[in-house]
Structure formats: structure tokens, C-alpha cells
């Protein structure tokens, strides 16, 4: 079986000018991604995205000595939850992390800035799970089971109505 990371969307080997362009475009359309792109450009972090049903993966070889921001893309057209991802690969990566961020709300810049800060300043691997509300609890439970002392920031939808 060929086990590999999908090619990182943004990696340290991308020329600075291209990262500058990506940041400029993101500021207008996807401001939540700016902190992650800046962490790649300014601090040498690696960013990789794991799409649903992508199968097993290993850490990218170019990540040696560099913190990895691993985005789990569970919110593309529909959310499939943890079952759509290779559990062993995620567990292996989560064990190298100190922090996880689960975003089931609209993308909030502060949540993505937390991801970037952990990787850039603290030089730690971090996992970012982009999901939908119906799988938020499942992701939280899976990550806590894999690493009980994992710090988790949950960006969830605002409750409406009366409880």
C-alpha cells in the first residue's frame, strides 16, 4: 500500500512571492486562512490538507524539524465524520500534537490564528478539524480517546432560543 500525505497545499518550498499572493487573495475572500499562510511563509511551518476518504497517510518528509498544521477537511460538500478518515494515521499524528482545533461554525479567524500560533510560536504540531455541527461531538470524542491530555479549542455554532 502506498501510504503518503496528499501533497501539502502550502509548503515551505513555495516561493515567498507566491505565498504573498496567496495571502493577498485570502485577505479578500478567505481571511481565516491568512494566519496559516503567514505561519508557513514567516515561520517555516508545513500545511497539509487531508480530504475525506483519502486513506492512510504519513507525515510529509519535508516536515522534519518543522511543525505541521494538519487540516482535516470534513466539511467539503457534506460532513462524513471521523469514519471518513484513516483512524490509525490520524492517531499517529494526534499523538505528536499538543493542541487540536475543531471548527464546526463559520470559519472564525481567531480559531485559525490559534492553530497558526501553536505551530509558529510553540513549534508544535497541531490538528485542525473542519467539520459540521452533526459531527462535532464525534470528532471531540475520537481526539480525546486518541490523546486524553490533548488541548482542544472548539469553535461551534452559537446556540439559539431558550434551553
pLDDT in tens, 40-62: 989 989 888 898 888 888 776 66
Cα–Cα distance, 43 to 40 (Å, whole number):
6
pLDDT-based confidence at residue 1 (cuts at 50, 70, 90): very low
2-11, 55-64, 79-88, 131-140: which range is least confident on average? 2-11
* Per-residue cell: 120: 509558529
For the beta sheet containing 97-103, the strands, ordered from the edge strand earlier in sequence to the opposite edge, are 46-51, 68-73, 125-130, 97-103, 151-155
First to last CA, the chain: 50
User: Which has more pLDDT, 11 or 128?
Assistant: 128
Contacts with 117 (C-beta within 8 Å, 6 or more apart), sequence order: 35, 39
Cα–Cα distance, 107 to 113 (Å, whole number):
11
Average pLDDT, the chain: 86
CA–CA distances in Å: residue 151 to residues 99, 110, 154: 5, 16, 10
User: Which has more pLDDT, 137 or 61?
Assistant: 137
The answer to whether residues 6 and 35 touch, using CB atoms and an 8 Å cutoff, is: no
Give the pLDDT confidence score for residue 13 in this predicted structure.
Answer: 67
Give the pLDDT confidence score for residue 10 in this predicted structure.
Answer: 41
Q: Furthest-apart CA pair in the chain: how many Å?
A: 51
pTM of the model: 0.86
Considering the chain, what percentage of its residues have pLDDT values greater than 70?
87
Q: Is the pLDDT of residue 160 over 80?
A: no
Amino acid at each position: 500500500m502506498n501510504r503518503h500525505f496528499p501533497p501539502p497545499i502550502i509548503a515551505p518550498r513555495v516561493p515567498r512571492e507566491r505565498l504573498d499572493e496567496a495571502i493577498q487573495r485570502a485577505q479578500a475572500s478567505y481571511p481565516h486562512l491568512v494566519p496559516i499562510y503567514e505561519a508557513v511563509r514567516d515561520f517555516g511551518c508545513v500545511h497539509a490538507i487531508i480530504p475525506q476518504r483519502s486513506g492512510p497517510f504519513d507525515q510529509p518528509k519535508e516536515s522534519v524539524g518543522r511543525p505541521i498544521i494538519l487540516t482535516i477537511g470534513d466539511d467539503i460538500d457534506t460532513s462524513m465524520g471521523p469514519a471518513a478518515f484513516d483512524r490509525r494515521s490520524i492517531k499517529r499524528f494526534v499523538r505528536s500534537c499538543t493542541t487540536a482545533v475543531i471548527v464546526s461554525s463559520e470559519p472564525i479567524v481567531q480559531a485559525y490564528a490559534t492553530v497558526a500560533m501553536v505551530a509558529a510560536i510553540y513549534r508544535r504540531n497541531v490538528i485542525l478539524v473542519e467539520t459540521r455541527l452533526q459531527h462535532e461531538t464525534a470528532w471531540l470524542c475520537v481526539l480525546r480517546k486518541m490523546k486524553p491530555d490533548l488541548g482542544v479549542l472548539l469553535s461551534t455554532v452559537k446556540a439559539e432560543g431558550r434551553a
